Amino acid sequence: MVLRTLLLADEQPDLAQALCAALTSWRIVVTVDRESAMHAVRAHKPPVAAVSFALSPDTADGQEGTELLAAILAEAPETKVIMLGGEDRALAVRAVMHGAHDVYRPPGNPQELALLIERAHHRHELEAAS
């Protein structure tokens, strides 16, 4: 069986553990900063990425995550990016306007995030087939 690849760019180890348990048919590549996330995008070409707005503790305004969203879509426009955080509605709206597939607000049920990831992958496959 070929595992699907998810890029998780998040500084919270609890989320990675929960997703590993919920997404058993996925290979999850975990990164904690923009540089390693972009290296993973180039190396793995993930169909889906989950990116924290608050990727850096130095930028509480979501700028680091938003910049990573733009970089991922510039490198791999077919990747479906789910932004993690989104407590600030304006920030969430801006992310969707700039190409995010969806926005998820943790802490929530990891099964809900897993469903969003599965749906994003399904859309990726449909677009690839067209």
Residue 108's pLDDT is what?
74
For 59-95, write each residue's pLDDT tens digit. 567 788 999 999 999 999 999 999 998 678 888 999 9
Residue 59's pLDDT is what?
58
> Cα–Cα distance between 46 and 37 in angstroms, integer?
11
For 17-64, write each residue's pLDDT tens digit. 888 888 988 999 999 999 999 999 999 999 999 999 887 666 567 788
> Cα–Cα distance between 45 and 39 in angstroms, integer?
10
Q: What is the pTM of this model?
A: 0.92
